[in-house]
Chain A
């Protein structure tokens, strides 16, 4: 249970944090503020400031990821393009390289692989573009995973072995696919998901009753979990079966394994929830947001009558009793090893990034 109050960073006003990614030491964050640019915010003297603006896209930037391994940023947008940005130490600028995704629909999400040598971008063309850098031609190339997907891809996540990906789509199915690239991946097999893994091999497919908004692999890769629009969290450790946890709340949008047996998920309820593995099934343990402690002011009665006078509102309480005032769109790890994450950060439609301590 969180004992400390979370760290709230209201970096945007009136604009949602569409997507964000922190760098490896959490000193900077790349943010798409519901715009066509990616802003890099850096913390100077305790306050957040815009350090640089990466503008190459023409339409809303829907996905941003910052590789801890290579310090490169990838951004994808509804303008059908992806750009990889590299930081030049000499000038402090970010140099962009366009990645030809060869897709004819918007890109929706992007994730760097654990080693940072590939990234997976989900698109509305019912495909996932696995992009890698071709040394001989000095450009980023894309291969497509499109045989098995039948609708817009809503989320992707990489398996720790750098070869498999899990994806959730609007056709209400979660799939584990292979993103094996012959030129850069060593021949590998996987005890849980299968031995022979050519590109776009379907390793597993799971059906839900709602669009799959978020997927995640556990730190060891033995489990895959997803959250769907039917307000459930599902976890699977094998190709055929999975456990469903039905929550009586609004649908969850994003999830994170904080250890092999614990998941934190958040969504339209504006609060993060903690799920734990109990024997062979999972259950919802707790809501991690008990609300900011409202100071019981002595003049709250006066404030109430003031509100009634100036705004003709009998009940002036428009705020929710939680740190986020609107939907939480993404949860990402902030600090701690992958098997025992101590802090996580949530970004929401209210323009806030909140860092939670467990």
Chain B
């Protein structure tokens, strides 16, 4: 299982490094405006072809690039109902605090669980290679987090059920 993870992560890392070559680009559509072109989508020639990297049908990453911004959307593995609920709550927690996250998008792209929007202003303030490292680390750890939460949830449910049923002879 882990041998597909390595190649998957390597592919995402290479694509992200290439997609994060951003530069300041004033809007060609509206004067005096400077918008992330991947969100505005007003100028087709500055948008790059979106790339989807899938590990399997349940886990994939969509990378949409443009001249001044890149949008990375991740679909997290959710095997059953419990994991679906946990994932939803986990990503919602983060997305509600998107402002302090800086690169997080408030709403995920359709079909995905969480999205990042990185603009040229972010790559000017932060190291590009560390931004890529952060996203890769996030992808690797979110699966672990959700499994941990599920295990502790099941443990608590078992303890509660046991102590409730103990009162019946």
Instruction: Tell me the A residues contacting B by CB distance below 8 Å.
Output: 14-16, 18, 34, 59-60, 62, 78-80, 104-106, 108, 124, 126, 150-152, 170-172, 211, 213, 229, 250-251, 253, 267-268, 318, 320, 325-327, 329, 349
Contact = CB atoms under 8 A, between A and B. Distances in A.
Contacts of B18: 250
A105 B27 CA distance: 8
B67 A211 contact: yes
A124 B124 contact: no
Contacts of A80: 31-32
A170 B21 contact: no
Given A105-B28, A106-B32, A349-B123, A318 B45 contact: no
Contacts of B45: 150-151, 170-172, 211
Contacts of B7: none
A253 B21 CA distance: 10
A295 B128 CA distance: 25
B28 A151 contact: yes
Contact of B32 (A79, A268, A326): A79
Given A211-B67, A250-B17, A318-B130, A60 B24 contact: yes
11 contacts: A105-B28, A106-B26, A124-B27, A126-B28, A211-B46, A211-B67, A250-B21, A268-B128, A318-B130, A327-B21, A327-B123
A31 to B, nearest CB: 15
Contacts of B31: 80, 104-106
Contacts, number: 76
Contacts of B129: 320
Given A59-B32, A106-B31, A326-B128, A170 B46 contact: yes
Given A170-B45, A170-B46, A171-B45, A326 B127 contact: yes
Interface residues of B, number: 23
Contacts of A34: 124
Contacts of A172: 45
Contacts of B39: none
B40 to A, nearest CB: 13
Given A59-B32, A108-B26, A211-B46, A14 B21 contact: no
A21 B32 CA distance: 25
B67 A124 contact: no
B98 to A, nearest CB: 23
B90 interface: no
B125 interface: yes
Nearest to A172: B45
Contacts of B24: 18, 60, 62
Nearest to B130: A318
Interface in B48-73: 67
Nearest to A105: B31
Nearest to B127: A318
A124 B26 contact: yes
B43 interface: yes
A326 B26 contact: no
B23 interface: yes
B137 to A, nearest CB: 12
B48 to A, nearest CB: 9
Contacts of B46: 151-152, 170, 211
A349 B26 contact: no
Nearest to A60: B24
Given A105-B27, A152-B28, A250-B17, 20 more contacts: A34-B124, A78-B26, A79-B32, A105-B31, A106-B26, A108-B26, A151-B45, A152-B25, A152-B26, A170-B25, A170-B28, A170-B43, A170-B46, A170-B67, A213-B23, A318-B130, A320-B129, A327-B21, A327-B123, A349-B123
